[in-house]
């Protein structure tokens, strides 16, 4: 019994000593320089009013660089003698040697090299732009398809490779309605704005320089004579005020002339090309006006003929009167 207790006591002591030694080893390891998590010191404030905070931020600066700020891992990493750039985020403006750029977000403007005056805000915003200037991208992946184009504005849109001077707001399949304050109820003058099936806004051009195969409309406009104008109300989801409407039904118009309707992205009939209908109406009006003028001219000619005939009849009547024998006088013998 005593030997058994002694054995247990020795085993317990050995276990406690082993645990103590193990704890001591781990404690020493935790205190060693190798094991300690050391927060890296700031990369520093450089000459020329340049400021860097983050591992390898502004790593490549040379003399002549002014007023650059890099915050984040390898932010503005390749910037050399660049001027007035601001990069906040891991590898923001990583390749840039351009000037006056602002990039905020992970990999924002990552691929920019010689591009100047670009603004990228968001995850991977303007990440592929290399030499494009004056681009603005706001939102995750905003402008991420742009490469060399200039003067683009992409808000919540990835943009299109190489395009220039384009504004894109929203993403296809995500936004289905647009509200812009300051338009409805504001009186302005100028040509009407239209939108094509791709969502591009613009003004319908009329100049000859935009057209080809120009020829008279002739009988093509006669199709509108088969159209059936209707009165109607839009469904409440479209017009909650239930305002009385006057117009055409696109499906009916398509049966008369398929060129007078437009289709949506699914190929379904969507709306009537009222501007084309108006042009046809004008052509029919002019044709009718020409017929009226011809009738009036013909009536004028007939009136002259009538007047000439009337004058001729008067002359004949006068001559007849002159040729009539004089009336005989009856003498009274009484």
d(CA 256, CA 301): 40
Give the 3-state secondary structure percentages of the chain, helix then strand then coil, rounded to 5: 30, 15, 55
pLDDT average, residue stretch 49-74: 93
Closest CA relative to residue 164, chosen from 181, 155, 152: 152
pLDDT computed for residue 5 by the predictor: 37
d(CA 180, CA 308): 71
What number of helices (H) and strands (E) belong to the chain?
3, 15
pLDDT computed for residue 2 by the predictor: 37
The rounded mean pLDDT for the chain is 85
pLDDT average, residue stretch 107-126: 98
The listed range with the strongest mean pLDDT (20-34, 263-277, 315-329) is 263-277
More confident residue, 47 or 160: 160
Are the C-beta atoms of 53 and 41 separated by less than 8 Å?
A: no
More confident residue, 135 or 39: 135
d(CA 120, CA 88): 10
Residues 6+ apart with CB under 8 A from 267: none
pLDDT computed for residue 330 by the predictor: 61
Domain boundaries, the chain: 46-174, 212-324
DSSP state of 113: S
The listed CATH number (1.10.3720, 3.30.160, 1.10.10, 3.40.50) that belongs to domain 212-324: 1.10.10
Q: Which fold, 46-174?
A: Alkaline Protease, subunit P, domain 1 (2.150.10)
Weakest mean pLDDT among 45-49, 194-198, 210-214, 322-326: 322-326
d(CA 158, CA 8): 73
Q: Is the pLDDT of residue 154 over 60?
A: yes
R_g of the chain, CA atoms, integer Å: 45
d(CA 37, CA 228): 81
Are the C-beta atoms of 82 and 99 separated by less than 8 Å?
A: yes
Q: Is the pLDDT of residue 324 over 80?
A: no
pLDDT bracket for residue 30 (50, 70, 90)? very low
Closest CA relative to residue 148, chosen from 170, 126, 120: 126
More confident residue, 225 or 41: 225
């Amino acid at each position: 019994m005593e030997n058994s207790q002694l054995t247990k006591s020795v085993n317990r002591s050995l276990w406690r000593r082993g645990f103590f030694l193990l704890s001591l080893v781990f404690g020493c390891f935790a205190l060693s320089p190798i094991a300690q998590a050391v927060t890296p010191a700031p990369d520093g404030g450089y000459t020329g009013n340049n400021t860097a905070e983050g591992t390898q931020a502004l790593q490549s600066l040379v003399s002549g660089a002014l007023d650059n700020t890099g915050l984040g891992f390898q932010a503005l990493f390749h910037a050399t003698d660049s001027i007035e750039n601001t990069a906040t985020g891991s590898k923001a403006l990583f390749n840039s040697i351009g000037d006056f750029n602002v990039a905020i977000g992970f990999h924002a403007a990552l691929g920019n090299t010689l591009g100047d005056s670009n603004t990228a805000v968001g995850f991977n915003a303007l990440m592929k732009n290399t030499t494009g200037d004056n681009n603005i991208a706001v939102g995750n992946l905003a402008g991420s398809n742009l490469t060399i184009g200039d003067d683009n504005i992409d808000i919540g849109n990835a943009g299109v490779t190489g395009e220039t001077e384009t504004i894109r707001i929203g993403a296809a399949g995500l936004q289905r309605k647009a509200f812009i304050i300051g338009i409805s109820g504001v009186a302005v003058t100028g040509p009407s704005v239209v939108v094509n099936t791709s969502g591009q806004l613009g003004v319908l051009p009329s100049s000859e320089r935009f057209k080809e195969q120009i020829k008279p409309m002739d009988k093509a406009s006669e199709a509108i004579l088969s159209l059936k104008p209707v009165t109607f109300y839009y469904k409440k989801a479209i017009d909650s005020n239930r305002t009385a409407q006057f117009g055409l039904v696109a499906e009916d118009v398509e049966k008369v002339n398929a060129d007078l309707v437009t289709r949506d992205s699914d190929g379904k009939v969507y709306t009537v090309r009222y501007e084309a209908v108006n042009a046809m109406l004008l052509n029919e009006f002019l044709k009718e006006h020409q017929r009226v003028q011809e009738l009036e001219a013909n009536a004028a000619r007939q009136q002259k003929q009538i007047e000439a005939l009337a004058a001729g009849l008067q002359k004949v009547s006068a001559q007849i009167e002159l040729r009539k024998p004089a009336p005989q006088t009856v003498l009274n013998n009484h």
